[in-house]
A and B are shown apart, each in its own frame.
Chain A
Amino acid sequence: MLNVAVVRFPGSNCDLDSLRAAERAGTNANFVWHRDTSLRGVDVVILPGGFSYGDYLRSGAIARFSPIMQAVQRHAADGGPVLGICNGFQILCEAHLLPGALMRNAGLTFVSKPVDVVVERTDTVFTSAYAAASRLRLPVAHGDGRFVATDDTLRMLEAEGRVVLRYVPATEASPFQPNPNGSANHIAGISNASGTVVGIMPHPERVAEGLLGATDGLGFFTSLAAWEPRASTPNVPSR
């Protein structure tokens, strides 16, 4: 059974939801405190949503220097999967594990509602369970979700197919506002080149079981549960 760590920062508030979704997908999931310095050999790391350190300075800017993040950096460098959801995505960008940054929503308001997205990349650790071009309805809940990057970075992300989730463009028939935050190229989530590190603004853990009204997000967790550590990159427990 795969071991999943959900990192808890002061101000995390989607940690329990993420843990439960990972458990329901058939993994052994446990919390790791931000002051811990070791991931104890876990296979997959989830940085959950919330408001780590009160979003002081910039969202994710201080969490990125939490003691546990050095272990997360090593884990990612060794090819270990990391999923950042919402505040977790912001932390991954601040930690330079993903390019770009997440800025204040263009409309200035905190946006909390369902959005429609397309899964554009399905060869990541976290989206392999979805069929290509799947359309999902996922909740977003953020004030700083506007993805920005240099023109060169945006071109690179598009050329390398690293846009994982994209808000459905305005031309599509949808009851929801297509791009809730003014994100560049309607980007809702991206990955690193190898598809092991993924950051997304929507919250799949909030729609991961029938009791919550929908299961569109469950695929992120069944995907990671199906991931098999490659023999060539053994996941050596850090000190």
Chain B
Amino acid sequence: MSYRVHVRVMPRATLLDPQGQAVEHALTALGFGEAGGVRVGRAIELEVAAPSRADAEARVRQMCDKLLANPVTEDYLLQVEEA
């Protein structure tokens, strides 16, 4: 089976996110004063061949722990769908 996996990597909530702050300031300046709590992360999509959805997710978790996310500074979320 082939699965399409969406990986969302976000800076850990307790850490300063200067990019999110800058975007929030820009939104405020553009008149979107209602926007708050802006954080900027990274989205990664990939296709994985795996015998099952659970196997695909397990493999991508390994990829995240090893390369796609930095465990010191980032958290990640996975979404797996059949490709």
B16 to A182, Cβ gap below 8 A?
A: yes
* Interface check B72, CB cutoff 8 A: yes
Task: Name the residue in A57, A105, A108 with the highest tally of chain B Cβ atoms < 10 Å from its Cβ.
Answer: A57
Determine whether the beta carbon of A106 is less than 8 Å from that of B18.
yes
The SS class assigned to the B binding surface is: mixed
* Chain B residues positioned under 8 Å from A57 (CB to CB): 67-68
Q: How far is the CB of B35 from chain A (nearest CB, A)?
A: 18
B15 and A148 within 8 A (CB): yes
Chain A residues whose C-beta falls within 8 Å of the C-beta of B11 in the assembled complex:
103
- Give every chain B residue within 8 A of A100 (Cβ-Cβ): 72
Query: Are A104 and B19 within 8 A (Cβ)?
Result: yes
B68 x A101 contact (CB < 8 A) = no
Within 8 A of B (CB), among A117-159: 146, 148-150
Q: Does A116 contact B (CB under 8 A)?
A: no
Confirm or deny: B2 has a beta carbon within 8 angstroms of a beta carbon on chain A: no
Instruction: List residues 30-67 of chain B with CB under 8 A from any CB of chain A.
Output: 67
Q: How far in angstroms is the closest Cβ of chain A from B30?
A: 18
* A108, B19: Cβ atoms closer than 8 Å: yes
Residues in A neighbouring B72, C-beta threshold 8 A: 93, 99-101, 148-150
Flag if B18 contacts A104 (CB, 8 Å): yes
Q: Using an 8 Å CB-CB cutoff, how does the interface string of A50-85 with B read, 1 for contact, 0 for none?
A: 000000011001100100000000000000000000
Range of interface residues on chain A?
20 to 34
Option from A61, A93, A94, A106 in Cβ contact (under 8 Å) with B16:
A106
Measured CA separation A146–B72 after assembly (Å): 13
Q: Would you give the shortest CB distance from A186 to chain B, in whole angstroms?
A: 15
Is A237 positioned at the interface, with any CB of B under 8 Å from its CB? no
B18, A105: Cβ atoms closer than 8 Å: yes
Would you call A101 and B19 a contact (CB within 8 A)? no
CA distance A101 to B70 in the complex (A): 8
Q: Which residues in B have their C-beta under 8 angstroms from that of A146?
A: 16
Q: Within 8 Å CB of A99, what residues of B?
A: 72
Contacts of A105 in B (CB 8 A): 18
Q: Can you list 15 A-B pairs with a CB-CB distance of less than 8 A?
A: A57-B67, A57-B68, A58-B70, A61-B70, A93-B72, A99-B72, A100-B72, A103-B16, A104-B19, A108-B19, A146-B16, A148-B15, A148-B72, A150-B72, A182-B18
- Chain B residues within 8 Å of A, Cβ to Cβ: 11, 15-16, 18-19, 22, 67-68, 70, 72-73
5 closest A-B pairs (Cβ-Cβ)?
A101-B72, A101-B73, A108-B18, A106-B18, A101-B70
Q: Known pairs A62-B67, A150-B72. 6 more at Cβ < 8 A?
A: A57-B68, A58-B70, A61-B70, A101-B73, A103-B16, A103-B73
